[in-house]
Structure 1
Amino acid sequence: MHHYEHFWLNPKFWVAVSFVIFVVLLGRMIWAKATEALDARAAKIRTALDEAARLRAEAEAMRRRRRPTAPPPWPRPRPCWPAPRPRPSASPPRPPPRPRPPPSAASRWRWTASRPPRPVPWPRCGRPPPPWPPPRRAR
């Protein structure tokens, strides 16, 4: 191993200095490219937001100009499924249900202990479940 009198005479020192200079210059170039790309992206987002604000203002102006008596452009939502059907007024009223005899204590316990959970119906105002099995297609 060589032992140099001064550190600046050691070639390892100059290799380290050149490496630091290289990293600094490369970092500056990478930083400049990254900021340029981010600025371009910010400008693109800004133009898209300005366009969206302009379109919204235009749509609101069109909505204000529309006649209030015009029907809506979309179909009205259906009432809850299934739609309640009106009962005919001439039909006689239903008789009251027959009273059931009270079950014994043993049968009441057995019935409540082995009862399966109630089925969960589909949402009252949503779509009905699809038929099962599915209907066959005509060939």
Structure 2
Amino acid sequence: MAFVLGAQSRAKLKGVKPELVAVVERAIQITGTNFRITEGLRSVTRQKELFAAGASETMNSRHLTGHAVDVVALVNCNVRWDWPLYPKIAAAFKQASKELATPIVWGGDWPRLRDGPHFELDRKRYP
């Protein structure tokens, strides 16, 4: 079953680097687990709120420059945060990244503070 990005997800992609948008668009076509974009480009004010709330550990987020997106898994149109869904979504992002020759980093691969919903353009190629 092919999924599509809804209007809310597309709105959240405004300001996100086109290379990452292309990866997201390809990933939604090939994923076996539906997802929605929850965050794309963030304002400094929003980042300060997340930092103050402990939801982010940095004020140097890739979201501030449009180099990152966060997703949420959807199962039968319901938001789901269970960890096993996120490696499945990540597999689609990684396949899309490879197909498009656009290197990404998945927050779920980080050794500390694993962040399953987070995807960003690789700093090595997109500083």
TM-score, reference length from structure 1: 0.15
Q: Which has the larger radius of gyration?
A: 1
Larger relative contact order (C-alpha < 8 A, sep ≥ 6)? Answer: 2
Compute the TM-score of the two structures, normalised by the length of structure 2.
0.16
More strand by share: 2
